Structure 1
Amino acid sequence: MTEAKTILLVEDEIESGEMLANFLELKDYSVLWAQEGKKALELIEDKAHEIDLAILDIMVPNHDGKEICRHIRQHPVLADIPVLFLTAKDEEVDEIEGLNLGADDYIKKPASLNLIKARIESQLRRMNPEKAHWLKYDHVYLDTETNQMFINEELIDLTHTEYLIAELFFKHPKLVYSRAEILEHITDEEKYIFDRTVDVHIKNLRIKMKEEEKLIKTYRGVGYGFNREYLKR
C-alpha cells in the first residue's frame, strides 16, 4: 500500500479550509491545516520531513502566503516540493509575483474541489521520488546524497570525517559505538590514527552543532552514540 502524501494547507477561512481538508482526507491525503502564517511556519519546522506539497492562500494573518512560499523555497528539505497558491485575488500582477516567488501553480477561488485535486495530482507526478536521502532529528537534517548537515535552514560546515560520524549516529540511533568502531568507520588505510582522535572529531562536531549537540551523547565506559531521549520526537 502506498503511503499517503501529506499536504500543508494554509487557509484562514474556516469553512473553506475545513471543506478542502476533509475532501483531501477522503481522497487518502494527509492534511496539515494552518489557519494563519505563524502556525504554518511551525508546521514547516516540525513536520518538514513529512510534507509533500503545499497549498497556500496568499491573504492569511501574520505571515502571508508569499512569505511562507519564500520560506519553503529556502528550506533544506522542502525547497523542491510543489507549491500551489489558492487565492481570491485575480490580478495578473499577483499571479506573476507568486510564480516568481517559486509557486508551481496558481488557482483562483472559487475553484471546484475536483479541480484542486487534479492540480495536486499533476504536481505530485512531477515530483522527485521519495526524499529517502534525508535524515532528521529535532531541527537537524542530514542529506546523505550530498553529505551535508543543516540545522534549521543553515548549512553547517563539517569536515568529511565529522559528517561520517554524524551520519553513523543518525542512521543507527539505537546503537552505541566504541572509539575503535568509530575509528574503523571513518578511516581507510590510515589505521595508525590513535583512537583518541575520535574524541577530537566529536568535540569539534558538537561545537559546530551548537545547542543541537545534545543529540550526541557520551556513554561512559562504552563510547558515543545518538542520544536515545530524542528517538520519540
Structure 2
Amino acid sequence: MKPKILVVEDDANLVELIRYNLEQEDFAVVSTEDGEEALVLADEEKPDLVLLDWMIVNLSGIEVCRRMRREPATANLPIIMLTARTEEADRIRGLEIGADDYITKPFSPRELVARIRAVLRRLRPALAGGNLEYAGIFMDTTAHKVTRDGQPVALGPTEFRLLRHFLEHPGRVFSREQLLDSVWGRDVYVEQRTVDVHIRRLRKAINLDGLPDVIRTVRSAGYSLDTDGRREAVA
C-alpha cells in the first residue's frame, strides 16, 4: 500500500505540483486548503505524513500542528512545515510546536521528496523498506512470507494485506470502514462484518502456541496492532 500524504496548502498550483511529483514517487495524496478540514482529514484518512503550510484558511499551520500534537490519534503523526518564512525564529517556533521538519519556499520537488522519505525513514521505518516488523512479527513483503518469533505463519491473501496494513501503522486504531477502504479498496463492496471474520482468521494464524494477542479490539472504534493486548467487545 502506498504511503499517504496529507497536503495542507492554499496555493492550488503548488498543490498540483506537489501532488504530481508525489504520485510519480508512488505516494497517495489527499489535500485541503483549510486548517479545520485538515484536522478532520488527519482523523479520517489516517495519513502517514502531513505537509503543512504555515498560512492557510481558518487556522494557521502552527495552530493545526499544535492541535494535532494534543490529540492521541495524531500526536505521533510526522509533520513537515511548508512556509515562505525564512527567519530562524520562525523555523525554531515551528519545530518547538511539534513539526518534524521545515521546508522554506521555493523548494525543488526532488528536495521535497527526499525530505519526506528522510522523515519517514526516521519516524516510520516500516514505510521505507520491503520488510516490516513489530512485536516479534516479521513480514517480508517481497517474498510474501511472515514469521512470528521465528516460526512461519501461514496467511491467506486478505489476511496478509490486513496484517501488512497493521504493521505499517502500529498502534493506530482503524474502524471497519477504514480497513475496508485500505485493504479491500474503495470500489469493492464488502459487508463491514467481513472485517471481523478476517480479523479472527488473522488472530488464529499469528497467535502461535498461545503467544499474546497483539490485535487489540477497541470498543466502538475498531482494531489496532498493539502490544497492550487488551480485547474488548466491539459495539
TM-score by shorter chain over 0.5? yes
* 1:28 partner SS: coil
Corresponding residue to 2:13 among 12, 15, 32: 15
1:78 to 69, 74, 79: 74
Report what 2:59 is aligned to: 63
Q: 5 Å matches for 1:115-134?
A: 115-128=111-124, 129=126, 130-134=168-172
The answer on whether the counterparts of 2:8 and 2:31 sit within 8 Å (CA) in structure 1 is: yes
31, 34, 59: which one pairs with 1:33?
31
- Structure 1, residues 114-159: CA drift from partner, whole Å, max 9, x if none? 0001100111101244323333328xxxxxxxxxxxxxxxxxxxxx
Deviation string 1:92-112 (CA, Å, 9 cap, x unpaired) is 221111010011111110000
Q: CA deviation at 1:13?
A: 0.4
Conserved 8 A contact 1:7-1:54: yes
1:95 aligns with 2:95: no
Per-residue CA deviation, residues 147-181 of structure 1 (Å, 9 max, x unaligned), is xxxxxxxxxxxxxxxxxxxxxxx9x7359xxxxxx
In 2, the alpha carbon distance for the partners of 1:45 and 1:80 equals 13
Inter-CA distance 174–37: structure 2 relative to 1 (3 Å threshold): same
CA distance in 1, matches of 2:81, 2:66: 12
Contact 2:7 2:50 in 1 (8 A): yes
TM-score by length of 1: 0.57
CA contact (8 A) 1:9 1:55 kept: yes
Amino acid of the structure 2 residue aligned with 1:9: V
* C-alpha separation in 2, matches of 1:134 and 1:116: 26
* Structure 1: gaps (5+ residues): 139-169, 176-208, 216-223, 228-233
**Partner of residue 179, structure 2:** none
> Counterpart of 2:196 in structure 1: which amino acid?
P
TM-score between the two structures when normalised by the length of structure 2:
0.57
Counterpart contact for 1:173–1:226, Cα < 8 Å: no
1:4 to partner: Cα distance: 0.8
For structure 2, the residue ranges without an aligned partner over 5 or more in a row are: 127-167, 177-192, 199-218, 223-231
Which residue pairs with 1:44 in the alignment? 42
Aligned to 2:174: 136
2:174 partner SS: strand
Deviation at 1:27, TM superposition (A): 0.9
1:104 is matched with 100
1:47 is displaced (CA, Å) by 1.6
Using the aligned pairs only, state the percent identity. Answer: 36
Cα RMSD for the two superposed structures: 3.2
Task: Say whether the 8 Å CA contact 2:43–2:74 is kept in structure 1.
Answer: no
Contact persistence 2:43–2:73 (CA under 8 A):
no
- 8 Å contact from structure 2 (residues 8, 51) kept in 1: yes
Note the 1:156-171 alignment, pairs <5 A: none
Q: Quick check: which has more Rg, 1 or 2?
A: 1
Note closer, same or farther for the CA distance 1:225–1:84 as it changes in structure 2 (3 Å cut): closer
